[in-house]
Amino acid sequence: MDAKKALSWAGILGAISVIVLALAAHALEKKLDAAQLNAIKTAGNIQLIHAVALLAIGGSSEKLLGQLKNAIRCMLIGTCLFSFSIYIIMFKNIAGLEFLRFIWPITPIGGVVIISSWLMIFVQSRNLGKSN
């Protein structure tokens, strides 16, 4: 993934997370219970944290971006799976769309993919500066 794509994804993920967090703070507090609001806020915060991480990584050198391309992809995919599955589950609860109940297993899968992205960054960092 190149810098332009990483920064573009950071921007869209950041914007969506701020919108979701604003909705949770203002429009959804009467429609969801405390646990559901906490889930939305967790998803929004995780998404925002990883948008900032993508922003930081996107500002790196092209060489580093190349070395972290798989980690970046996993971070992006995992964040989308984790956060958007929670958003869909909460939408299902608000709208009563029970056919969306199959979504819940996607959340932990997204979490595992996010963790994997951070571990990939750790492993790759151990190899920085070593000759190939």
Domain locations in the chain as residue ranges: 3-127
Do 46 and 82 contact (CB within 8 A), yes or no?
yes
pLDDT per position as a tens digit, 17-76? 999 999 998 988 888 889 989 999 999 999 999 999 999 998 888 888 888 999 999 999
Do 26 and 86 contact (CB within 8 A), yes or no?
no
Specify the higher pLDDT residue, 11 or 89.
Answer: 11
Q: At what angle do helices 34-58 and 69-95 cross, to 10 degrees?
A: 160
